[in-house]
Structure 1
Amino acid sequence: MNPERTFGHGGLNGFLEVDRLLDGIGLDEDDVAWRKEFIGFDETDEQRLNDLEPLLRDNQDEIADEFYDNLLEYEAARDVVERSPKGVEQLKQTQRAYLVSLSTGDYDLEYFENRARIGKLHEMLDMPLKQYVGQYGVYYDLIMRRVNERVQEQVVTSIEEWLAEREEDADGGLGRLSGAFGFGSDEADSEATDGLEESLEDAVRDAIDDGMGDVLSLLRIINLDMQIATETYVDSYAQNLEEAIDQHEQLAADVESDVENPLEELHEASEVVSRRAEAISQHTEAQAATAEEAANEIDEVSAAAEEVASVAAEAREESERTERLAGDGVEAAAEARRELGAIEDATERVETAVGELESRTDEIDEAIERLDELAQRTTILASNAKIESTRGDAGDETMAIIADEVNSFAKQTKRDLDAIETALEDVSEATAETVEAVTETSTRVDQGGERIRDTIESLERIHDAARSTAAGLEDVATATDQQAHSIEATAESVEELSRSAEQVADAAESVAAASQEQTASLGEVSAAVGRLTDVEPFESEPVYERVSREPDTGADHDPGPELEFDAETTETQ
């Protein structure tokens, strides 16, 4: 299978109009023949390229790898590769097929049609022309290195063949070789000459000429490829230019059609504007007078606002003082609450002590009853002893004394018990009164405590209200200050409005004159719009006469992206 047919027929070809492309660049058999003749490409070049096929085929993998390794170092090249529907490995295969096709083509119209397709595909991928042409510099380096090695091998082979032809001479071997290079030592040798022997020099020159012929053949076919591919770019630029011209002409016609009625309406509207401008001037003068009156009234409002702000500030100070007093009252109430708690505790302790006193009084009553009983018994005992003493026994006198003492003790005890009982009765009455007083005191303490608690709660509410009032008054004062500033700003704005109204009145007077000038200018605008359609049609030159090269911009070296053929490829081995 011919390798040149293995690329240039990929997925993007569905978007490519080949016939229109060929017509656009004028590519036909006569054009191909003229191009070949112009650069001297003939059958000899075709034969030389065919002879180079083994060299190119053997080095196709290495050249494709090095080519893409170099290109992918540049971001611009990577961007184009990413836009291609094929991956890097597929592109390398395409590159290998292209390399081999340089030496296996028929170099006819079909060959160059395929080259035109390749160039157009690069342009469709938005590869800049400078990159497309620049990448050939990389290609030259990769191919010419191999060709250079081939030329050197040809020169060495020529020398070896020259030596082989002279092996039968008597002076063969190393001596013959050194003599060929002018190193002979026999001065008498009439055949010795300076420099290389003429036959060896001719052989070396023939080998170098043959190698340079191969180089020129490669350069010529690649130059033809570049011509065709570059013209696809130029054709695209020309097509875009023609489309732009068509769009311009259509736009001019549309503009003329679109503005015709608006211009007439604008002409009529300008006359209306002129009349209304005069009315605006009159209204503006009245507005200026009204604005001045409003400014005077706002000055009065501003003075009143400042007075309100002053009163609000005084009220705020009084509210703050009330808040402080309420706070002191809350603190005093809190202290009273603590004292009330202590009184309640003491009252409870008194009630407890009175209860214990009543209990102790009952115990004393019981003891008094026992003592009373004892006194009665003692009295009886004393009476008995007294009776016994009257009988006249020896111990009667003693018993009489004892009886007297016991009787005296009993009487005294009786009197003491009566006094204690009387005191206890008094204590019992006092205790009852104390209990009653304590009960009443406890009741009053409870009532007073409740009132104190109510008072504390009221003071707290008063304190909160005073605090809220103080905060509100401060907000009022702040708002009043802001209002005063706003009124002052409004007064300034009204004054500015008054001045602006005067300026507008002055400007409105000139609107009528400007409107009249505008009416006169509309005629000129209409004439200018009409000239948009008077553009002469753009006559393009033949494409091959318009081929241009983009100038070197001095940017960093960027040979551009790969020679991407967007094709289905096969192995060419």
Structure 2
Amino acid sequence: MQPQETFGRGGLNGFLDVDDLVDRIELDEDEIAWRKEFIGFDEADEQRLAALEPLLQANAEAIADDFYENVLHYEQTRAIVDRSPKNVDALKQTQQAYLVSLATGDYDREFFKNRARIGKLHELLDMPLKQYVGQYGVYYDLIMARLNERVQQQVVDAIEEWAAERDTEDDGGLDRFVGALGLGGSAEHESDGLEESLEETVRDAIDDGMMDVLSLLRIINLDMQVAVDTYVDSYAQRLEDSIERRERLAREVETDVEAPIAELHDSSEVVAQRAEAISEQTDSQATGITRAAGELNEMSAAIEEVASVADEVSEESDRTETLAAQGVEAADDALDELAAIEDATDRVADAVDTLANRTEEIDEIVDRLDELAERTTVLAANAKIESSRDDADGSETMGIIASEVRSFAEQTKSDLEAIEDAVEAVRQDAAATVETTEETVARVDTGTDRVRETVDSLEEIHESAQTTAAGMEDVAAATDQQARGVEVTAETLEDLSESADTVASAAESVAAASQQQTASLREVRESVARLTEADADDEPPVYERYD
């Protein structure tokens, strides 16, 4: 079994179809030939690698040990090793086989197919590409140290061979060799440097060693290309799967959101219209609230004026209450006076009755005096008559008596007439007094009733005034409270007005945002539709490929 067939046979191979892999990365004979030509890998390189097999065989174990010592030193790479189905010893053996296979391969499609499998296995272990490519740097360090020794040995061997050849030509071989090195010697062998033949020998030996290094670097480069292709293929597969999922999802999303987006578009237009209507309504509301606030301010001023008038009315009501109370007291005094007047009137009536009785008695006396006067007159007449009949002295005396009696009678009669006239006047005055007294009594009775009614009214007024005063106090308090309430309401309305202005602005913003939303939804709908419009035959530029 070839060395390249002894590695890469772990448990992960069951998850890998290598033929399909190399087909996807287009690793056919022509592609391999092109890559070899591109980096200058030819049969000479194959021969040189074959010549390196003993070196690689001899150092494979040491290189593998050093390689995994470096790998296990880092946590990230150690985690990859822990995920491998092989243990570290098995991995070291695989690494030794891989190293030897670099110099023993046929470098055909099968060789690179095996390299593709190795790269894919590392990718299946989730080894990052930076680690996979980075481990070639570890190879360079480990392999080049051995190659450096080989090149140095080749130079030494070439110099010894050159010296041996010169040593057989003459006896002064050592001096000739020293002279060839430019280290001095006899005058005839002095030189400014290495002898041309020795320099050429050294250069040829170094060049041959570097060509060996270059051949090894070329095959590692080809190996690295294939490994990177497997990673890129994996990334491309993931990207294609992601694109396919995205397209499938886009189709599903388009199908799922087409109706909702249409509905949302329609509803957004409705919202925009309603928001615009709300904005207009809010503007109207703000205007109304501002007007109401102004009216409330005026009402507040009117209420303050009413409160002031209520205070004045309350004061006037207090004064009315005081006057009513005084009126009640005066009415009570008037009732007392009326009672006294009524008593006096009753006494006057009694006096008038007494006067009337006495007038009647005077009438009777006058009647008697009148009768006495008439009788005196008669008597005087008779005395005069008699005096005319008697003697002169007697008649004279009788005449004088008769004259006196007559004069008395006349005077008495005259007085009686005057008394009678006076009595008549008294009677008339008494009658008038009685009538006036009766009228006064009637008026006093009426006045008393009215005074009583007035007192009752005044008492009612007093009670009403007290009630009115208390009510006016309540009205004043309520008016003050109402004024404060109106002020608070006015302030609230001002706040509401400002709030309404803010709401109006917000509604305008909502309307604008809703219109923008409608436009955005239209763009989203168009964008979602474009997700599935891409040509299925167009491949995304995943990575640049050499054709």
User: Which of the numbers 220, 226, 229 marks the counterpart of 1:228?
Assistant: 226
Taking only the aligned residue pairs, the percentage that are identical comes to 66
Please say if 1:109 is aligned against 2:109: yes
Equivalent residue, structure 2, for 1:178 = 178
Aligned mates of 2:540, 2:272 — CA distance in 1: 50
Matches within 5 A, 1:255-270: 255-270=253-268
Task: Identify if the C-alpha distance between structure 1 residues 521 and 172 changes in structure 2 by more than 3 Å, giving closer, same or farther.
Answer: closer
| 1:219 paired to 2:217 | yes
CA distance in 1, matches of 2:101, 2:68: 19
Secondary structure of the residue that 2:539 maps to in structure 1? coil
Partner of 2:133: 133
Correspondence for 1:17: 17
Letter in 1 for 2:8: G
Range with greater deviation from structure 2 (178-187 or 72-81) = 178-187
Q: Structure 1 residues 55 and 281, CA, compared in 2 at 3 Å: closer, same or farther?
A: same
**Is 1:530 the equivalent of 2:522?**
no
CA-CA distance at 1:517 after TM superposition: 6.4
Alpha-carbon distance between aligned partners in 1 of 2:500 and 2:159, rounded to the nearest angstrom: 105
Query: What is the number of residues matched between the two proteins?
Result: 343
Task: Give the equivalent residue in structure 2 for 1:98.
Answer: 98
TM-score (norm 2): 0.55
CA-CA distance at 1:223 after TM superposition: 0.9
Q: Which residue of 2 aligns with 1:69?
A: 69
Shift of 1:532: 2.8
Pairwise CA distance, 1:115: 0.6
- Which residue does 1:249 correspond to in 2? 247
1-side partners of 2:142 and 2:279: how far apart?
82
Is 1:35 aligned to 2:35, yes or no? Answer: yes
Determine the structure 2 residue equivalent to 1:48. Answer: 48
Q: CA deviation at 1:4?
A: 0.9
CA distance 1:512–1:55, change in 2 (3 Å): closer
Deviations 1:58-97 (A, max 9, x none): 1111111111112222222112212222222211111111
Higher RCO, Cα 8 Å, sep 6+: 1
CA contact (8 A) 1:249 1:535 kept: no
Question: SS at 2:105's partner residue?
Answer: coil
Q: Give yes or no for contact 1:26–1:543 (8 Å, CA) kept in 2.
A: no
CA shift, 1:163, in A, is: 2.4
Separation in 1, partners of 2:530, 2:14 = 42
Question: 1:544–1:37: structure 2 CA closer, same or farther, 3 Å change rule?
Answer: farther
- Per the alignment, residue 240 of structure 1 pairs with 238
Change (3 A) 1:252 1:172: same
Which has more helix, going by share of residues?
2
* Bigger radius of gyration: 2
Please give the alpha-carbon distance, in whole angstroms, between the structure 2 residues aligned to 1:88 and 1:498: 82
SS at match of 1:72: helix
Q: Distance in 2 between matches of 1:100 and 1:123?
A: 23
Sort the Cα spacing of 1:29 and 1:524 in 2 relative to 1 into closer, same or farther, 3 A: closer
Deviation at 1:280, TM superposition (A): 12
> Per-residue deviation at 1:16?
1.5
> Within 5 Å, which residues of 2 pair with 1:493-504?
none
Check whether the contact 1:159–1:204 (CA below 8 A) recurs between aligned residues.
yes
Question: Following the alignment from structure 2 to structure 1, what is the Cα–Cα distance between the partners of residues 20 and 216?
Answer: 29
Tell me the CA shift for residue 522 of structure 1: 4.5
Pair 185,173 (structure 1): closer, same or farther in 2 beyond 3 Å: closer
Compute the RMSD of aligned alpha carbons: 3.7
Q: Note the residue ranges of structure 2 that are not aligned, 5 or more in a row.
A: 290-494
> Secondary structure at the residue paired with 1:50?
helix
Separation in 2, partners of 1:152, 1:254: 68
TM-score for the superposition, normalised by structure 1 = 0.53
CA deviation digits over 1:240-296, x for unaligned, max 9? 22223222322322222111111233245446657887799999x9xxx9xxxxxxx
C-alpha deviation, 1:100, in angstroms: 0.7
Give distance in 2, aligned partners of 1:209 and 1:514: 77
**Is contact 1:256-1:529 (8 Å) kept?**
yes
